[in-house]
Structure 1
Amino acid sequence: MTAAQSAEAIACVPDLIATARNAGMVVIHVVVAFRPGHPEVSPRNPVFSVLKANGMLVAGSEGAAIHPAAAAREREPIVVKHRISPFVGTDLETLLRANDIDTLVLAGVRTSGVVLSTVRHAGDLDYRLVVVRDCCADPDAEVHAMLLDTVIAKQAAVVTMVELAGALPGRSS
């Protein structure tokens, strides 16, 4: 993924979060982070073994921090995940059920990773899903488009930020 593609998706996030807050939605942030030494990473996990080998995404490091544009407010939960799906090994589902949330609005900087994994997992848990197209990016533009238009669209409404903002209450133009 180019820096520009990643930057475009990240630039969308503050408006997405503001739109959700203005509509009275619960905002839950998800980050990837590991303890020093990455004891959570199995040598059988090729994706995260690379992170472990390079000492990346250690909790408390700049690389594992929430981007400043997406900073959590005081009462907004931050879920720390150790796998691609934010549901695996976390309390995300508990937070969603405790807050009676049945619809998830998703964004992410890896359509072929976290976005796809979350859609599949959340779909199997019977959540209604909305994926915000312009708040997602992937290293392969062709895969990104195919996933959003063909695969993800079978389980989620795929919308633009403008479409989402227009569909939610509490948003002034």
Structure 2
Amino acid sequence: MEKNSKALRTALLIMDIQPATMAMMGDAAAGLSATLKKAIAAARRNDILVLFVVVGFRKGFPELTAHTSNISFVALRGSGVAGLENPTVDPSVDPQPDDIVITKRRVSAFAGSDLEVILRGHHVDHLVLTGIATSGVVLSTVREAADKDYRLSVLADACADRDPEVHAVLLNKVFPRQAEVLTVDKFVAGLGG
């Protein structure tokens, strides 16, 4: 049921929040999970489309061959990192059975996924981005989404990176050139609480 066209044209992207990435964040994962759950709940109350984007590969990693030149993905092929075949959303953010989960094959949420088809189908023109890592999926998705003319917001406290200095530079100096950078509390307040 349509409640307001602004909400219906917005999508909240929860990117790379998977058991393996949350484990990489160590003790910070619990705080990140609580912050993400707050953003997700507010989006759902306001009829904002919530999309989960996970990175994953088919059995045997056929997307990552000897000819793959992306260093970080070549390393994944033989790493034995669990959860990259048939990836799932981390249960700590309470994904619902009817949620849309999009599998991507590279860093950007658009790369090798059907994200753009889903966004077009829902007439989305504003993306609210969250995820792990700020220097990975968030940065790549900001750049690609900006080139695709989406309006962008980045929820600073719903993004995380293992390098705090890179995280801060991206949020304070790089992202503001292409996106509104705000906290989850400000995002929720902007929706009416």
**TM-score past 0.5 threshold:** yes
> Which string of whole-angstrom CA distances, capped at 9 and with x for unpartnered residues, describes residues 47-98 of structure 1?
11111111323333xxx32111224334321100110001011110110011
CA contact (8 A) 1:9 1:108 kept: no
CA contact (8 A) 1:13 1:69 kept: no
Q: Closer, same or farther in 2 for the Cα pair 1:6/1:109, shift >3 Å?
A: farther
Hey, what does 2:152 align to over in structure 1? 129
Hey, what does 1:59 align to over in structure 2? 85
Secondary structure of 2:69 counterpart:
coil
Q: Following TM superposition, where does structure 1 have runs of at least 4 consecutive aligned residues deviating by more than 3 angstroms?
A: none
> Which string of whole-angstrom CA distances, capped at 9 and with x for unpartnered residues, describes residues 11-53 of structure 1?
3111111111011101111011111211111432211111111
Count of residues paired in the alignment: 167
C-alpha separation between the residues in 1 aligned to 2:103 and 2:90? Answer: 14
C-alpha separation between the residues in 1 aligned to 2:84 and 2:112? Answer: 17
TM-score by length of 2: 0.81
Whose strand fraction is larger, Structure 1's or Structure 2's? 2
C-alpha separation between the residues in 2 aligned to 1:28 and 1:2? Answer: 21
Q: Is it true that 1:17 corresponds to 2:47 in the alignment?
A: no
Q: Is it true that 1:89 corresponds to 2:108 in the alignment?
A: no
Hey, what does 1:146 align to over in structure 2? 169
C-alpha separation between the residues in 2 aligned to 1:126 and 1:7? Answer: 33
Secondary structure of 2:40 counterpart:
helix
C-alpha separation between the residues in 2 aligned to 1:83 and 1:2? Answer: 20
In structure 2, give the amino acid aligned to 1:40.
E
Secondary structure of 2:174 counterpart:
helix
Q: Out of 66-75 and 121-130, give the one that drifted further.
A: 66-75
CA contact (8 A) 2:34 2:93 kept: no
